[in-house]
Structure formats: C-alpha cells, structure tokens
C-alpha cells in the first residue's frame, strides 16, 4: 500500500516537473539567439565615410530568431529525453523505496505478529502462554506487557472458578449423599411401615433429581470454562459408548433406532464431549413418543466433524427453538418436560462453543426435533 502511495506521489511530482520544465523551455527558446562573428570578415565600407578619414563600423550585432518548426523539434526532443530518463528514475527510486519500506514495516510489525500468534494460541488452548516481548520501551512493548497482565488476571480468575466448582461439588453433593444414606437405612429396617417406605422412596426420587440437577449445573459451569487439555476424540466411538449405556432406556420406550455412524475426528475434553453426546441422546429418548424413531448420525465434512440426533415428538414451532437452549427453559406441552431440568441442550451448546463449535436445532416435518453439533477439524487434519 505504501509502495503504491509512493509511486502515485512520485508520478504527481514528476508530472508537475514536466509542466514547469516545458514552460521554461518554451520561454527560453522564444528568446533571440546571437549569431557568431564570421572567421574572415569583409573590409569595411569606406565609400560613404566622412572626410575625417575614420572607417564606419556597424554598432549593432545582427540577431536571428529560431523559426517555429525548429523550436518545436528541439522542445519535443528535450521533453522526450526528460520523460524517459525521469520516468526510469521514478521507477528505480520507487522500487528501492518500496523494498526498504517493506523491510522497515516488517520489522515494526514483527512484534504485533508475535502478539497475534500468542492470542491465537491462548484462544485455542490454554491461558498459560505469554508474549514476554523483549523489546525497547515503546507502544508495542506496552501493548505486549498489558496483554500479559490481562492473561495473568484471566488465568487467576479461571483458576479460582475451577476451585469454586470443585468446592461447590463437594459441599452440595455431600449433604445429599448423607440424606440418601439415611433414607435408605430407614426404609430398610424390618420395622418400617408401608407409609414410611413409600415416603422414603419419594424422598429418594427427589434426592436423585437434586443430584442430577447439581451434576448438570456443575457440568454447565465446567463447560463454559476454558478447555486446557485437548485430546483426539472420535465422536462416532463416543456415540457407540453412549448408546450402549442408554440401551435399556431406549428399549424401555420401545424406540426404533436408525444409525449412520461414520468417523468424526475432533479434539477436546473427552469427558465433556461424552457428556454432550449423552445429553443429546438422553433428550431425544426422554422427549420421544413411545414407539417413535431415534435417528443418529456422525461424520466429517471439509470444515469439521458433526453429530446429529433426531426424534419424534410433538410439533415445535421455529420461534420456540432458541428457548430450548436457554438454562431452565422447557416447553410445558412437550412429553416428559416435567422430568427434565432444563439444562440438557444448554450444556450441549456450552460444550460445543467451548470447543470452537456450535449447536443448532430444527423442527422436523412430522414433529420432534433435529439437533446438530458441529466441531472444527483437528489442526493436524486441516
């Protein structure tokens, strides 16, 4: 860009110089030029000389003016010479200036490229990367140091969040485990009446629902944090494992399965990706009609891997789709909506976005939903 600007400026200056030099040459060539004296002058004319005996010599030197044809020829020749040599000079100096400018700007932008590379690594992997720019004090040095300070604060914040999640998991799940144990012991006593056993079973169901809710909340909080360890994962293999785990639930609802599992390589946290796929299948089974169809597909495209899960169910309007991805939002007219926590698809989208992917949903023509998760290709396969 700077090279083009220099050539434009040089061409403008050169054009102005051509105009000024052309005007100057026209003015100079319009002046009279003296004729040089002859080498063998003729004797003076003494026929009309006065009686004093002195010879009369002409007092003015004769002058000539170049005719218009010769002047135009000389002017055209000088302009042509000036255009050729001046144009070559502008090209040579422009090429030299562009080369030197390219090298100079490259040296100035090298620290910015380093900052950009570090930011990309931080965004894609871990907060442990630092620029640590070794350069003289200046604007770029201040920018790099400010970026490192920001990364330090972010690293501390995420570390504190991870500690909070771990402590919350312990503090929230321990009382529930104690309550569950006490209820199980109470209903297992031989002297327990039928009312006590029924009450105990209801309390165990509530306790189990609370445990699932806490697990979902902790998974959502973990999914929205940074993924530090990324390992190669084949989503098709994870899907097979999840389907085997939920086989009894699928058989209980008498669902027909249509599977098309192709290799879907990705990178990320295996536990989070497994939880994401588990939520997809669990939602598709839970909100499916008895005897309905469960369609599952995995595969790879030019941009990455994908997982799609479809089910049969009540019709869903397109404007209701965004509500399904919000935490604790459920459609009250859906089959089984009262059994859900409203965090299933929220966790799915959070895990996908944490892995630089996304989750989308679309209503099916005969009712139900088709949810698709797309993840980027691993760096080694790009």
- Predicted confidence at residue 71, as pLDDT, reads 64
304 shares its domain with 174: no
Mean pLDDT (the chain, rounded): 78
- Predicted confidence at residue 48, as pLDDT, reads 47
176-196 confidence digits (pLDDT tens): 888 888 888 888 888 888 888
Start-to-end CA distance of the chain, whole Å, equals: 31
pLDDT of 233 > 70? The answer is yes
**247-270: average pLDDT:** 90
200 shares its domain with 281: no
- Predicted confidence at residue 340, as pLDDT, reads 56
Domain CATH for 268: 3.30.565.10
- Predicted confidence at residue 128, as pLDDT, reads 67
Per this entry, what is the length of the chain? 382
Could you tell me if 67 and 29 are in contact, meaning their C-beta atoms sit under 8 angstroms apart? no
| Distance, CA of 289 to CA of 313 (rounded, Å) | 5
364 shares its domain with 241: yes
- What is the bridge-based pairing of β-strands 256-261 and 231-234? unpaired
Least confident of 45-59, 95-109, 214-228, 264-278: 45-59
CA angle 190, 192, 194 (to 5 degrees): 120
216 shares its domain with 110: no
Count up the domains in the chain and report the number.
3
186: in domain: yes
Could you tell me if 315 and 367 are in contact, meaning their C-beta atoms sit under 8 angstroms apart? yes
237 shares its domain with 361: yes
271 shares its domain with 357: yes
CA angle 256, 366, 242 (to 5 degrees): 35
**37-63: average pLDDT:** 51
* pLDDT band at residue 307 under the 50/70/90 scheme: very high
Last residue of a domain, one of 169, 196, 223: 223
Residue that wins the pLDDT comparison between 223 and 153: 153
191 shares its domain with 319: no
- Predicted confidence at residue 33, as pLDDT, reads 46
Residue that wins the pLDDT comparison between 85 and 35: 85
Distances (CA, A) of 121 to 127, 178, 233, 379: 9, 44, 20, 12
DSSP state of 319: G
pLDDT of 7 > 60? The answer is yes
- Of all helices (H) and strands (E), which one includes residue 308? strand 304-311
206 shares its domain with 244: no
252 shares its domain with 111: no
Last residue of a domain, one of 194, 223, 252: 223
What radius of gyration, in Å, describes the C-alpha atoms of the chain?
A: 44
- Predicted confidence at residue 49, as pLDDT, reads 47
285-305 confidence digits (pLDDT tens): 988 888 899 999 999 988 899
- Predicted confidence at residue 35, as pLDDT, reads 42
144: in domain: no
| Distance, CA of 175 to CA of 169 (rounded, Å) | 11
120 shares its domain with 87: yes
Last residue of a domain, one of 171, 206, 223: 223
Residue that wins the pLDDT comparison between 51 and 207: 207
pLDDT of 280 > 90? The answer is yes
At 224, is the secondary structure helix, strand, or coil?
coil
46: in domain: no
89: in domain: yes
* pLDDT band at residue 117 under the 50/70/90 scheme: confident
370: in domain: yes
59: in domain: no
- Closest listed residue to residue 364, CA positions, set 321, 329, 324: 321
- Predicted confidence at residue 34, as pLDDT, reads 46
List all residues 6 or more positions away from 177 whose beta carbon is below 8 Å from its beta carbon.
none
| Distance, CA of 266 to CA of 268 (rounded, Å) | 7
* Domain extent at residue 215: 160-223
As a whole-number percent, the residues of the chain with pLDDT over 90 amount to 15
218 shares its domain with 239: no
Give the distance from CA 249 to its chain's centroid: 41
**350-356: average pLDDT:** 85
241 shares its domain with 183: no
Which residue has 């397109």 as its token pair? 318
The DSSP result for 265-331, as a single string, is EEEE-HHHHHHHHHHHHHHHHHTSPTT-EEEEEEEE-SSEEEEEEEE--S---GGGHHHHTSTT---
Two tokens, residue 241: 């494992």
List all residues 6 or more positions away from 217 whose beta carbon is below 8 Å from its beta carbon.
343
92: in domain: yes
49: in domain: no
Q: How many CB atoms are closer than 10 A to CB 237?
A: 13
């Amino acid at each position: 860009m700077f090279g083009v600007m220099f050539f434009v400026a040089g061409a403008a200056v050169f054009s102005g110089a051509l105009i000024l030099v052309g005007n100057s040459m026209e003015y100079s060539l319009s002046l009279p030029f003296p004729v040089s004296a002859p080498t063998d002058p003729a004797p003076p004319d003494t026929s009309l000389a006065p009686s004093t005996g002195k010879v009369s010599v002409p007092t003015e030197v004769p002058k000539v003016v170049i005719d218009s044809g010769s002047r135009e020829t000389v002017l055209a020749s000088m302009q042509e010479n000036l255009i050729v040599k001046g144009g070559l000079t502008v090209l040579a100096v422009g090429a030299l200036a562009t080369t030197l400018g390219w090298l100079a700007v490259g040296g100035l932008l090298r620290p910015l490229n380093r900052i950009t590379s570090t930011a990309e690594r931080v965004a894609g992997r871990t907060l442990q990367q630092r620029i640590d720019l070794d350069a003289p004090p200046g604007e770029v040095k201040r920018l790099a140091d400010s970026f490192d300070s920001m990364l330090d604060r972010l690293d501390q914040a995420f570390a504190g969040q991870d500690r909070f999640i771990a402590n919350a998991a312990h503090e929230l799940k321990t009382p529930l485990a104690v309550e569950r144990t006490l209820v199980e012991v109470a209903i297992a006593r031989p002297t327990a009446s039928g009312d006590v056993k029924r009450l105990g079973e209801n309390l165990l169901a509530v306790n189990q629902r609370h445990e699932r809710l806490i697990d979902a909340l902790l998974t959502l909080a973990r999914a929205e944090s940074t993924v530090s360890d990324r390992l190669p994962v084949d989503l098709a293999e994870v899907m097979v494992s999840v389907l085997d785990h939920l086989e009894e639930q699928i058989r209980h609802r008498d669902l027909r399965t249509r599977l098309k599992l192709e290799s879907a390589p990705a990178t990320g946290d295996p536990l989070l990706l497994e939880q994401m796929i588990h939520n997809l299948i669990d939602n598709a089974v839970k909100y499916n009609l008895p005897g309905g169809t469960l369609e599952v597909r995995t595969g790879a495209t030019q941009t990455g891997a994908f997982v799609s899960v479809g089910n049969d169910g009540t019709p869903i309007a397109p404007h209701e789709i965004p509500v399904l991805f919000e935490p604790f939002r459920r459609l009250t007219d859906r089959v089984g909506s009262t059994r859900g926590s409203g965090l299933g698809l929220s966790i799915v989208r959070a895990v996908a976005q944490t892995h630089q992917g996304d989750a989308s949903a679309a209503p099916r023509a005969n009712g139900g939903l088709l949810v698709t998760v797309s993840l980027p290709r691993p760096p080694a396969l790009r």
